[in-house]
Amino acid sequence: MIKKADLKEIREKIIIALDVKNRVEAKNILESLPETRIFKVGLELFTAEGPDMIDLVRSYGRQIFLDLKLHDIPNTVAGAVRAAIRHEVSMLTLHASGGREMMMRAVEAAREEAEKAGIKLPLLLGVTVLTSLKDKDMEETGVKSESRAQVLRLARLALESGLMGIVCSPQEIELLRRELSANLKIVTPGIRPVWAEAQDQKRIMTPAEALNKGSDYLVIGRPITQAASPAEAFARLVKELEAAI
Ligand code: C5P
């Protein structure tokens, strides 16, 4: 259960997804959310504006979760991880389906580069089965397992390969907590405050439920970033967590 003393810590577990089109919009969000510690930069913004966006978030003194879901040959992924570390990201994602060697080389590259730069090793997180895929979609790609079994298999492989955590749906938290190491960091999108619309998210959970089930970080985007006042929406979210304690 969440305890009152942990409230500041809980606020710091909220990651805001900076899913906006350009630098101007990103700046607006950063300026309206001074209490948010971590921002997620994903494919859309990164492709639009490049690594400048990482530096922009850092220039506001915030941390970066770089969510590019890397998946390529080991040498290429290791190179991308080195580059990300030179930009001092705090968290980054890789597809566990890229395989053991890809993940091991990524971890090795991260350790070396962080040491060289004298910075803290970022959290390397594995992405298992995309929540947009149904069992039928997986079968079409040759994966015959039922999706929960595949999530567990890939999560286990990610940890064995040296990754520190997993990005998963809130519905998978209990399975991963039960079956895998207690030290594993769990990051969950698909979070909706009780007052927010589900939008296209199907298997949602409230922030308090996800934390109680054992999520370490909650990724929340549109309910905050597309609110008329992101600052008010963030305050409301924190209040909701407070009330749940
Ligand atoms: O706006 P919303 O709160 O739905 O944003 C959730 C964020 O988490 C988005 O950046 C989305 O890409 C990401 N995400 C997700 N579901 C996953 C993995 C990532 O919604 N399974």
16-70, pLDDT tens digit by residue?
999 999 999 999 999 999 999 999 999 999 999 999 999 999 999 999 999 999 9
From 219, 224, 234, give the residue whose CB has the most ligand 1 atoms within 8 Å, as the site to mutate.
219
Q: Is residue 148 within 8 Å of residue 157, measured between CB atoms?
A: no
Q: Is residue 148 within 8 Å of residue 121, measured between CB atoms?
A: no
From 19, 68, 173, 220, give the residue whose CB has the most ligand 1 atoms within 8 Å, as the site to mutate.
19
Q: State pLDDT tens for residues 78-102.
A: 999 999 999 999 999 999 999 999 9
Which numbered atom of ligand 1 lies nearest the CA of 169?
A: 21
CA 4 to chain centre: 25
At residue 199, the pLDDT reads: 82
Is there a domain that residue 28 lies in? yes
Q: State pLDDT tens for residues 107-134.
A: 999 999 999 999 999 999 999 998 888 8
Q: How far is the CA of 117 from the centre of ligand 1 (A)?
A: 31
Question: C-alpha angle 13/93/161, rounded to 5°?
Answer: 110
Contacts 24+ apart (CB under 8 A), 142-151: 148/172, 148/175, 151/175, 151/176
Of 153, 148, 121, give the one whose Cα is nearest residue 135: 148
How many Å is the maximal CA-CA distance in the chain?
A: 48
Averaged pLDDT, 205-209: 93
Which numbered atom of ligand 1 lies nearest the CA of 168?
A: 21
Query: Residue 2 above 70 pLDDT?
Result: no
Range(s) of the domain holding residue 218? 8-240
User: pLDDT category, 202, cuts 50, 70, 90?
Assistant: confident
pTM of the model: 0.94
CB burial string 36-48: b at 16+ within 10 A, e below: bebbbbbeebbee
**3-state per-residue secondary structure call for the chain:** CCCHHHHHHHHCCEEEECCCCCHHHHHHHHHHCCCCCEEEEEHHHHHHHCCHHHHHHHHCCCEEEEEEEECCCHHHHHHHHHHHHHCCCCEEEEEHHHCHHHHHHHHHHHHHHHHHHCCCCCEEEEECCCCCCCHHHHHHCCCCCCHHHHHHHHHHHHHHCCCCEEECCHHHHHHHHHHCCCCCEEEECCECCCCCCCCCCCCCECHHHHHHHCCCEEEECHHHHCCCCHHHHHHHHHHHHHHCC
Q: State pLDDT tens for residues 152-164.
A: 999 999 999 999 9
CA 125 to chain centre: 8
The ligand 1 site (C-beta within 6 Å) comprises 17, 19, 42, 130-131, 167, 169, 189-190, 201, 219-222
Query: Residue 182 above 90 pLDDT?
Result: no
User: pLDDT category, 3, cuts 50, 70, 90?
Assistant: low
Is there a domain that residue 245 lies in? no
Among candidate residues 69, 116, 202, 239, the one labeled active-site is 69
Is there a domain that residue 2 lies in? no
pLDDT above 70 coverage of the chain, percent: 97
Averaged pLDDT, 174-202: 90
Phi-psi region of 173 (alpha: psi -120 to 50; beta: other; left: phi over 0): alpha
Is there a domain that residue 3 lies in? no
Which numbered atom of ligand 1 lies nearest the CA of 42?
A: 10
Is there a domain that residue 1 lies in? no
Query: Residue 229 above 80 pLDDT?
Result: yes
Q: How far is the CA of 101 from the centre of ligand 1 (A)?
A: 27
Query: Residue 1 above 70 pLDDT?
Result: no
Query: Domains in the chain: how many in total?
Result: 1
- Phi and psi at 127, nearest 5°, equal -100, 130
Is there a domain that residue 192 lies in? yes
User: pLDDT category, 181, cuts 50, 70, 90?
Assistant: confident
Q: What average pLDDT is seen over the chain?
A: 93
The structure tokens listed for 196 are 């927010």
At residue 204, the pLDDT reads: 85
Is there a domain that residue 219 lies in? yes
Is there a domain that residue 116 lies in? yes
CATH number of residue 172's parent domain: 3.20.20.70
Query: Residue 218 above 70 pLDDT?
Result: yes
pLDDT above 90 coverage of the chain, percent: 81
